[in-house]
Structure 1
Amino acid sequence: MKVEKLNLRNAEANKNLGEIVGSNKEPSTDEVLQAWNKINPGYNFSNKDVYLEFNESYNGWYLNSYEKSEKNYGSLEILFNYKQQTL
């Protein structure tokens, strides 16, 4: 399955996700999942589905799936406004 590109609704949610989790510390996967699932009901990811990873080319954190499957829409990338200098 192809990587799901973020639509406008998801992009707006990502913009706000950093504020919900807090930008002064490295986020935990559980914190990000809790915030993401609250903003986007229906995904209901758990830490068994995804992991948190820092990507230097994006200069931010994203959630990536462990397995490419229909349940998690391939390698679903959930980008948000964590910047390297806040760590």
Structure 2
Amino acid sequence: VKLTIIPVDTTDQLVTLLKKGKLDLAAAAIMVTPERRELFRFGPGFYQVSPKLVYRNGKPKPASLNDIKGKLVVAAGSTGEDLLKEMSKENPK
């Protein structure tokens, strides 16, 4: 079996290629969501990542989600964006 590696730039691109059947498997930091569980079979994780909030030196540490509302930046189409969407569902205010 010949292995072909297809690099992608975002989680969105990866998910799109999987949905279209252009890929047989993916090895990436893909956040498991209920929607994705409906579409894909997830194997055991081989690497765990803990999300981190990075803030500017000399500024106070955010005490709550309200402190970062409207100020948060993540890469579009990334697992970080997926995490923020999930957090927004759980914390709509």
Determine if the TM-score, normalized by the shorter chain, exceeds 0.5. no
Q: TM-score, normalised by structure 2?
A: 0.23
Give the TM-score taking structure 1 as reference length. Answer: 0.24
Say which structure is richer in strand: 1
